[in-house]
Amino acid sequence: MASQEEITPLVGQHQQYASQNRHWGKVKKKTMLMRSMLALSLLFALAGGVWALQHLFHQSPITKKPLPDFSSLRGYCAHTQAIQPNEYIKRQKKLAATLPESSAYVMEGGPTMLYYTNIAWGLSERPFLVVLVADASQPGGIKTTVVTPMFEATRAVEAVKDANLPDEIQPDIVEWIEHGSPYTVTADQVLANISTVFVEPTTRLFIFDGLSQVLENGVNGQGKGVQVASRALQTLRMVKSPAELNILRCVNHATEEAIRQVRPHVNVGMTESDIATLMTRALTTAGLTNTWVLALVDENAAFPHGEPGTTKKVGKDSTVLIDTGGELLGYQSDTTRTFFLGNREDHNQTIVDAWYLVKRAQKNVLDLGHAGSSCAEIDLSARRIITTAGYGRYFTHRLGHGLGMEMHEEPYMNQGNTDQALEVGMTFSVEPGIYVPREFGIRLEDIVVVNEEGQLEVLTSGLADNPWTLRDE
């Protein structure tokens, strides 16, 4: 056991340790109190900050503005029928009546191939051709042959199957091998008894040259003429059938209605991109595909196709130009509207007068144009109105262009096109404009058709009524 002397210091030491523990306990309590007070201070500060933010924003949560409702456009053209198989027989019969005896029409993938055969095929360095030969023994007066690279033959068969052609049109398929010449194969197997070969104007030059070298030099001593398709052949696709017009009428009606529905939602502060987004949404809701939008504000509209890299926001009295369109069942739309924001009384009168001048130029074309008018005269009937008012040098482009399977196709309305006369069934744009650099631009565009009475009929619901609401008030 420990002696008394040994125990006594230990007792004193214990008392000393107890005193120290009491001291540190007090320190810890004070520290915890200070920490608690600091935490409460932070909580009160945070609560105060939240209250201040709520007060700043009127105590209401931030909500996104709801998107405009374009649901009334849904199914707009649901009643419109696609081109039916029998239509291709009619087209080939028209071609047979136009092709000279012992002649053929050669084309590669594109609108003309689709027009006559409904065969869809992209372009590559390897020629894929459709050859249409006048042949009275065929139901439509045309023998149809597909010339394809050998390794693509299986896909070519599927493309013909997908074309859903009537039984009366059954294309033959001719293959050419990689190390051989597609032009020699075409000449030997398809064009052996042909004297004249017409080539679709959009066909690429190397194909035209390849055919020319083989055919004009002669096969078996028989030279053949190769030339770009005649004006008579080109005109066939310019004249639209009732089935085509039904599609064109609906797709252009839908496009104009989409612009009318977007117009009330164009507000101060929006960018050109914002407008394009709204427009795209309206067009796609209406069922259009391959849509496009050109939205220009104020002086940007002085560039007919916009100025790359430059954007503008809508101001309280801005001028807004929307040029837009899309595709329905293989046919195109193209409509332009220019409108103003702000009070009518305060708007720049020069710009207002320019808008009504452009509308008057449009109206003059509708009043004076008819079957038999030259494309040049159609252009001039609008240009004279604008020139007489002193804006002639600011109308810098042609009046219009044909519209159908392509957005820009024959016939072209320009003052140099004196040889092409309008025919019943032709469709084209009427889009006069005034473009004053660094100031403003105005364009109004509608699609018209030469109707059965020989008059120009608008394929939308009508011309724009005024530059503020576009609708009749």
For residue 122, the domain's CATH number is: 3.40.350.10
> Looking at the structure, do residues 325 and 393 belong to the same domain, yes or no?
yes
**What's the rounded Cα separation, in Å, for the pair 14 and 357?**
109
Nearest-Å Rg of the Cα atoms of the chain is 37
Identify any residues that bridge with 145 across adjacent strands, giving them in sequence order. Answer: 131, 172
> Looking at the structure, do residues 260 and 368 belong to the same domain, yes or no?
yes
Residue-averaged pLDDT of the chain = 89
Q: Which residues of the chain have pLDDT under 70?
A: 1-64, 218-223, 308-309, 473
In a domain, 43, yes or no: no
In a domain, 78, yes or no: no
In a domain, 63, yes or no: no
Question: Environment class of residue 442 by beta-carbon count within 10 Å: exposed (0-12), middle (13-18) or buried (19+)?
Answer: buried
> Looking at the structure, do residues 216 and 276 belong to the same domain, yes or no?
no
> Looking at the structure, do residues 96 and 160 belong to the same domain, yes or no?
yes
**What's the rounded Cα separation, in Å, for the pair 394 and 408?**
22
Identify any residues that bridge with 469 across adjacent strands, giving them in sequence order. Answer: none
In a domain, 66, yes or no: no
> Looking at the structure, do residues 107 and 147 belong to the same domain, yes or no?
yes
Give the length of the chain. Answer: 473
In a domain, 346, yes or no: yes
In a domain, 119, yes or no: yes
Domain boundary among 193, 221, 237: 237
Q: What pLDDT, in 10s, does the model give residues 176-189?
A: 999 999 999 999 99
Domain boundary among 206, 237, 268: 237
Q: What 3 state SS string does 399-412 have?
A: CEEECCCCCCEEEE
Using alpha carbons, select from 220, 159, 135, 214 the residue that is nearest to residue 182.
Answer: 214
Cβ atoms of 319 and 436 closer than 8 Å: no
In a domain, 65, yes or no: no
In a domain, 309, yes or no: yes
**What's the rounded Cα separation, in Å, for the pair 43 and 130?**
79
pLDDT at 45: 54
pTM here is 0.84
Domain boundary among 182, 216, 237: 237
Q: What pLDDT, in 10s, does the model give residues 166-179?
A: 999 999 999 999 99
**What's the rounded Cα separation, in Å, for the pair 469 and 473?**
8
| Helix, coil or strand: residue 278 | helix
**What's the rounded Cα separation, in Å, for the pair 257 and 254?**
5
> Looking at the structure, do residues 447 and 354 belong to the same domain, yes or no?
yes
Alpha-carbon torsion, ordered 384, 390, 393, 394, to 10 deg: -100
Counted domains in the chain: 2
CATH number of 454's domain: 3.90.230.10
Eight-class DSSP state of 459: S
pLDDT at 32: 57
> Looking at the structure, do residues 159 and 94 belong to the same domain, yes or no?
yes
Using alpha carbons, select from 251, 261, 413 the residue that is nearest to residue 322.
Answer: 261
> Looking at the structure, do residues 399 and 254 belong to the same domain, yes or no?
yes
- 96: containing domain: 85-237
Cβ atoms of 269 and 314 closer than 8 Å: yes
